[in-house]
Amino acid sequence: MPSKKSHTIATLRSGNRLTLKDVAVKAGVSPITVSRVVNHYAGVRSEVREKVEAAINELGYIPNRSASILASSRSKLIGVLIPSLSNVVFNDVLRGIYSIAVPANYQILLADTHYSPMEEERSIRTLLGQSPDGLIITGGEQTDTAKTMLKASTFPVVQIMDHVKDPIDMNIGFSHFQAGVAVAKSLLEKSYCKIGFIGARMDPRTCNRLAGFKSVLSAVDRLDHKRIITNPQPSSVAMGAMLFRELMAATDGECDAVFCCNDDLALGALHECKKMHISVPDKFGVCGFNDIEMAAYAEPSLSSVKVNRYEMGRQAMELILERLQTSGNESDTVSNTVSKKAIRTNNTATPTQIIKSVTDTYIDTGFELINRKSTR
């Protein structure tokens, strides 16, 4: 059992975790000097620095982040909220985020919201407790509470993957609606005229693509709701095959092309075409979304829409770092720069009292239609 009070500080401590003090004793300097070395402060004599560094290495000292965060209220933590760990689409986004975060010594706290705004709100709450220095979140369908919390927060927030209407802070993505428009137009141009849609999960971005798609077809009076088949279950190749069969059954041949809400579904549809001896692309056109690598290797190769997922992640993280850097220098004149996102009226703890959102950055990463053999 531990002693109640210890006056010989460096020797008796509850846990046996090494602290700044231990290193300081070993190096014969004060703790704060060690802190400066650890944090790469300029103003330390190289002689002293080396001595300290030697002590650090000998002891294997690792700074305690919690203490550091508590004292400085900078955490070097970035919260990332994605709807699904299973959806490979987010792997690219994550890689982009990490490509910037890691060299800048930021760590990622990753949460999977399972496409649920409620779960998202819960995760945001948890993340906020970690004092993140920034947050990257998918889309714009947060709960009101979540939006309020984030707007009241003092760190940069980036919404990614979609062009959102009323952004919390910064936004980077592209218009899924316009992507849907582009696919519909393209299929029409290729002289398909009874164009259907199959979609699974039906998250907000998928819905936006569908909306864009419908808008075009209905404008030329080619929209038939029998040709819109959706399912709330997760996407998969098997699901694509199933939905395609449903589409065929529902339309009874009155369908000559399909826009699949992603490539997995499209691959399933292609597979089914083969089984049903439906000739692609002559008799039937198939277009996917995301342009995963397999799209190019399908038989026939799959037309799809390429989006810059890696870039979205990379630039989102860059936006955060930029803001962190500009706001870090000038600690006093905060309220009249654009470096802070929101200014609260007071600190009487009513988090809804926001005056304004100063930034409204939006970066469009665009999309590109890739025509391959599955369409004329």
Partner DNA sequence: TTGTATGCGTTATCAC
Partner DNA sequence: GTGATAACGCATACAA
- Integer CA distances (angstroms), 374 to 176, 258, 276, 299, 370, in order: 22, 10, 15, 8, 11
Binding to a copy of itself (CB under 8 A): which residues in 26-65?
59-60, 62-65
293's contact among a copy of itself, DNA, none, with CB below 5 to 8 A by partner kind, is a copy of itself
- Binding residues for a copy of itself, total number by CB under 8 A: 62
Q: What track of x and - describes contact with a copy of itself for positions 112 through 151 (by CB under 8 A)?
A: x------------xx-xxxx-----------------x--
* Distance separating alpha carbons of residues 171 and 167, to the nearest angstrom: 6
- CA nearest neighbour of 290 among 189, 196, 229, 205: 205
Q: How far is CA 303 from CA 74, 87, 221, 262, 289, in A?
A: 46, 20, 24, 11, 8
Report d(CA 120, CA 264) in Å as an integer: 25
Residue 252 binding partner per list a copy of itself, DNA, none, with a CB distance cut-off of 5 to 8 Å that depends on partner kind: none
What are the backbone dihedrals phi and psi of residue 112, each rounded to the nearest 5 degrees, phi first? -105, 120
Stretch that binds a copy of itself, among 169-177, 186-194, 236-244, 362-370 (CB under 8 A): 236-244
Site string for DNA, 56-95 (x = CB under 7 A): -------xx--xx-xxxxx---------------------
Residue placing its CB nearer to DNA in the complex, 35 or 361: 35
Q: Angle 325-74-104 (CA atoms, 0-180°, nearest 5)?
A: 50
Q: How far apart are CA 31 and CA 178, in angstroms?
A: 58
Give the residue, chosen from 351, 360, 362, 368, that forms a contact with a copy of itself under the rule CB under 8 A.
351
Positions touching a copy of itself (CB under 8 A) are: 1, 13, 15-18, 22, 59-60, 62-67, 69-70, 73, 75, 85-86, 88, 91-92, 94-95, 98, 102, 105, 107-112, 125-126, 128-131, 149, 154, 236-238, 241, 264, 267-268, 271, 274, 293-294, 296-297, 299, 332, 344, 347, 349, 351
